[in-house]
Structure 1
Amino acid sequence: MTVLRSTLDTGADAYGENRAAMLRALADLDAEHAKALAGGGEKSVARHRSRGKLLPRERIELLLDQDSPFLELSPLAAWGTDFAVGASVITGVGVIEDVECVLIASDPTVRGGTSNPWTLKKTLRAMQIARENRLPLINLVESGGADLPTQKDIFIPGGQIFRDLTRLSADGIPTLALVFGNSTAGGAYLPGMSDHVVMVEGGAKVFLGGPPLVRMATGEIADEEELGGAAMHGRVSGLADHVAVDEPDALRIGRRIVARLNWRKRGPAPGPSLAPRYAEDELLGIVGSDLTRPFDPREVLARIVDDSDIDEVKPRYGPSLVTAWARIHGHPVGVLANAQGVLFSQEAQKAAQFIALANQTDTPLVFLHNTTGYMVGKEYEQAGIIKHGAMMINAVANSRVPHLSVLLGASYGAGHYGMCGRAYDPRFLFAWPSAKSAVMGPAQLAGVLSIVSRAAAEARGTPFDEEADAAMRAAVEAQIEAESLPAFLSGRVYDDGVIDPRDTRTVLGLCLSAVANREIEGVGAGRGAPGFGVFRM
């Protein structure tokens, strides 16, 4: 039998402390999510409703199959900035007529749905997910266009939205625009470049220039309906493929379009799924707020993989990294999970071999992060930690099977890269509230700066100011600690969301189902690809 045998003591003081800390972190997280759910606030919401309009989340709910899940992406975008949490747009993966789709819905209750730099970053990330996983893309449009005070950060990179819409269509990935309100100026190209366009009569306004601009530019006097109303686009310009009588009708039409796509998944179908043998609620007490205290990732696996069953590879070699085969909701996966934080040469070589094996069998990889990085020191440098770490990073960078990453604890330094951090394009990346990520830990980074300052003072022959050094270290530690927190990183769209540990199995299952819309093929499979780069031995 390969079923994991849990040794987690749920009655231990350490478990209770970890659980209490995680619940506090989740309460804080819920408060931040509530800000995104509130949109532009009570007054803005009331004004929107008074116009007979649905809220963006209500539109999403009516569009999705009844009682189906919605995997929201980047809900904390813009956290810690001058803009509203959520960045005035809602993105996620949902099921429509049994087809998994990426949804992007402007929130007109937040500054008229205008796009700021974080709106753009969040939108482009959602479009990347649609492209990489071959998911139809649906835009629910009602936006005032660019947030003009930040146009310098939006105008030039914002063109990627229209570029990517055309590339999705060229790749055979359908794009839909359901237009409920304004979609003007450059925003008019959003429906203009979509495969299917639905406009709400009396609500949708799609034009390059509104009445004031047209009058200034040409002297012509025209109203909004003449320039860009749904009735005009349905009868005259031909931009609208369908004109809906109201918002629910537009959503009904959108569902019918998806139903007629003749969509099919190209990846493998999942096998039978068995629930884990241990309660998901117990995940709350495994990882504490003190990430210097190690934990066994097998305890996490026992609560997220099917039947708590894994086949571990090289369990005695490179024990600081667990590599194992498992299933999640019937989907086969290979798992790489950090055990004791530090990655040594053995762990790096073990990971490279395991990644190659997963590519040979077209098996998606799940990375569970808790690493302080690759080991440093004379002994390890001389033993080749650089070339072995490079071997692992090479394998991750050139692997072709889908990668899913979850940051459980620490994810520092090059270890973040080797475990498939954001720069290495995992299909999805989520974090637990306990996660932290930076170039190194706060104390280590402050200590390095202190050592460098002390050496510089000695080289100059000047006295070293111990008091100033202590103040500098405290300030740097506080800064790095704040910038390592998951809310900060999620606010900058460096992950796809901070999740409740108890939802990990569900989230990974939804992601694995989404990635199966595209063929799952490893390095060189069926494409004559060159495979991995040169491994330094």
Structure 2
Amino acid sequence: DLLERVSKGGGEDAILRHTQRNKKLFVRERLKLLLDDDHFLELSPLAGLGLPYGDVPAAGCVTGIGKICGVWCIFVANDATVKGGTLYPIGVKKQLRAQEIALQNRLVSVYLVDSGGAFLPLQSELFPDKLHGGKIFYNEAIMSAMGIPQVAVVCGSCVAGGAYIPTMAEESVIIDNIGTLFLAGPPLVKAATGEYVSPEELGGAKLHSEVSGCSDHFASSEKEAYECIRNIISTLNYKGLPEEAAEQQDSPLYSAEELLGLAPWDHSCTLPVQLILSRLLDGSRFQEFKAKYGTTLVTGFGHVEGHLVGVVANNGELSRDASLKGCHFVQLCAQRSIPLLFFQNTTSHPVAPASITQAEAHSSRLKAQASMMAAVACAAVPKITLVIGGCYGTDSYVMCGRSFSPNFLFLWPNARVGLVDSRQTWDSDPTGDKSEQKQLKEKLEEESSAFYSSARLWDDGIILPQSTRKV
């Protein structure tokens, strides 16, 4: 239901205004004209829901990865039906994440610009800091220096700072009658000088194609614009990261639909993670590493869609032996240039040791986890993290959580991610104030849910368990 809701942008009335009155295509119709087919990996579609400043469906822009003329590209497409295309802090964060993925994977970047600029009441949250709006333009410059192509379409308003996005791209297209580009629009000109000027006169397609030279291509319609972008990409002569020829693949022996019943809901215990791996790996084949040692972490090699991967999967508490085993395995994969696939699902452990023996075990585990943490951070191979159940505290870091910059991080809908398990917060202090404990429990329960995380772009999206292999 949530995905269906965000797919409609600002709602049916806003779409009607956008398409009928403004004579523009809805953002998802634009993508159909741009991409080779309708299938693409959409990133963080639930971002922007339930935020303190209200709902901003899909953070006001659609981002994802798909093929254009056979070339893998990442796109950032503004949705002007959401808040009139106004840029909110969550929208800045989503665009920066798309650029980060483009940098990591050397993907061609395509910008479909249709935005009214920043939302001024929240300017302190999207303008002045290092990871605010200006970082978008910085990233454009860095990608250009790295030889990563960027192209843009001005398919609506392109105002204020947003005007730099197409002008910093290698090639840009502007659409007649609907595309406008200026630092200050007609209302500001009127307020400053008392002079009325139309959007077309101030920054329309003809002006920027014939006079200013800000646009490289003039398109008389949206269809023509996206055909032009496809032609540009077909002549980039850009290979990006080489695609390895995948080995012949076999489907898992067990149905992926069964993952729905295997997704852990009770985070106080775990189920054998091999049950999940057998429904994701090619032919359900898994070459386990150190199978008899550190059994609360499962490591080994398998194939997904014909590609060899190293699997690191929680199978209980991340103990000392499990951490040492994980450190060894991650270093092996780094040495052999094998991508790593992390499955996070840990049971929580007591906040404080109950005995000297437990305290000594905690210290021993701490050192081992630090070693694995360093190995994960330094492994110069692609890393993908999937949170399939509960993941608490430092275990999230050791298992390549968001702060360890995996190439992608996805959650199953049942996932719980938090510093501590909310059930332990008051269990560890039975003498505390009951009302305060209840409030804290409710707060932690809300903030550790998958949907809370995805709304704030702490991940790259929530995926259904049965769709995991496809993603």
CA distance in 2, matches of 1:480, 1:211: 47
Query: Residues of 1 paired with 2:222 and 2:302: CA distance?
Result: 44
**1:195 matches 2:170:** yes
Letter in 1 for 2:376: V
1:133-282 superposed matches below 5 A? 133-156=105-128, 157-217=132-192, 221-267=196-242, 268-282=244-258
- What amino acid is the match of 1:92? G
Distance 2:182 2:240 in 1: 36
Find the counterpart in structure 2 of residue 76 from structure 1.
46
Question: Partners of 1:356 and 1:347 in 2: how far apart?
Answer: 14
Is residue 2:15 matched to residue 1:35? no
Distance 2:392 2:450 in 1: 13
The CA deviation at 1:471 is 2.2
Aligned with residue 348 of structure 1, among 323, 326, 334: 323
Root-mean-square deviation (Å)? 1.6
Distance 1:218 1:52, change over 3 A: closer
| TM-score when normalising by structure 2 | 0.94
Q: For 1:101, which of 40, 49, 73 is the aligned residue?
A: 73
Would the aligned equivalents of 1:374 and 1:389 in 2 still touch at CA under 8 Å? no
Return the letter of the residue paired with 1:70: F
1:382 corresponds to which of 354, 357, 360: 360
2:310 aligned to 334, 356, 362, which one? 334
Cα distance in 2 between the residues matched to 1:389 and 1:380: 16
Structure 2 residue matching 1:505: 3-state secondary structure: coil
Measure, in 2, the Cα distance between the counterparts of 1:78 and 1:216: 33
User: Equivalent pairs: percent with the same residue?
Assistant: 41
Structure 2: give runs of 5+ residues left out of the alignment: none
Q: Is 1:323 aligned with 2:299?
A: yes
The residue number in structure 1 matching 2:36 is 65
User: Distance between the aligned counterparts of 1:162 and 1:505, measured in 2?
Assistant: 35
Q: 1:372, 1:490 → 2: CA distance?
A: 22
Q: Which moved more, 1:381-390 or 1:324-333?
A: 381-390
Work out the CA distance in 2 between the residues paired with 1:388 and 1:40.
Answer: 49
> Structure 1 pair 400/374, CA: closer, same or farther in 2 (3 Å)?
farther
Stretches of structure 1 lacking an aligned partner (at least 5 in a row)? 1-30, 455-465, 508-537
The count of residues paired between Structure 1 and Structure 2 equals: 459
* Structure 2 counterpart of 1:47: 17
Question: Is the 2:49–2:57 contact (alpha carbons within 8 Å) kept by the matching residues of 1?
Answer: yes
What is the aligned partner in structure 2 of residue 512 from structure 1? Answer: none
Counterpart among 99, 102, 105 of residue 127 in structure 1: 99
TM-score, with structure 1 as normaliser: 0.83
Query: Whole-Å Cα distance in 1 between the matches of residues 198 and 181 of structure 2?
Result: 12
Question: Which AA in structure 2 matches 1:396?
Answer: V
Cα deviation, residue 474, structure 1? 2.0
After TM superposition, list the pairs within 5 Å mapping 1:1-20 onto structure 2: none
Deviations 1:285-338, CA, capped at 9 Å, x for gaps: 112421223211111111111111111000000000000101111111000001
Q: Tell me what 2:332 maps to.
A: 357
| 8 Å contact from structure 1 (residues 178, 199) kept in 2 | yes
**Matches of 2:247 and 2:359 in 1, distance apart?**
45
Is the counterpart of residue 472 in structure 1 residue 436 in structure 2?
yes
How far has the Cα of 1:79 moved from its partner? 1.8
Say whether the 8 Å CA contact 1:322–1:339 is kept in structure 2.
yes
1:295 equivalenced with 2:271 (yes/no): yes
Deviation at 1:87, TM superposition (A): 1.4
By relative contact order (CA 8 Å, sep 6+), the higher-ranking structure is 1
Q: d(CA) in 2 for partners of 1:44 and 1:215? A: 27
SS in 2 for 1:324: strand
Q: CA deviation at 1:398?
A: 1.2
Which position in structure 2 is the counterpart of 1:447? 427
**In 1, distance between residues paired with 2:55 and 2:177?**
30
* 1:311 aligned partner: 287
Q: What secondary structure, in the 3-state scheme, does the structure 1 residue paired with 2:29 have?
A: helix
SS at match of 2:388: strand
Please tell me the residue identity of whatever aligns with 1:37: S
Show CA shifts across 1:445-478 (max 9, x none).
Answer: 2334x35xx4xxxxxxxxxxx7xx2222222211
The match for 2:465 is 501
- Deviations along 1:383-428, whole A, 9 cap, x unmatched? 5111111001111111110110000001101000000000000000
CA contact (8 A) 2:158 2:181 kept: yes
Query: Counterpart in 2 of 1:403?
Result: 383
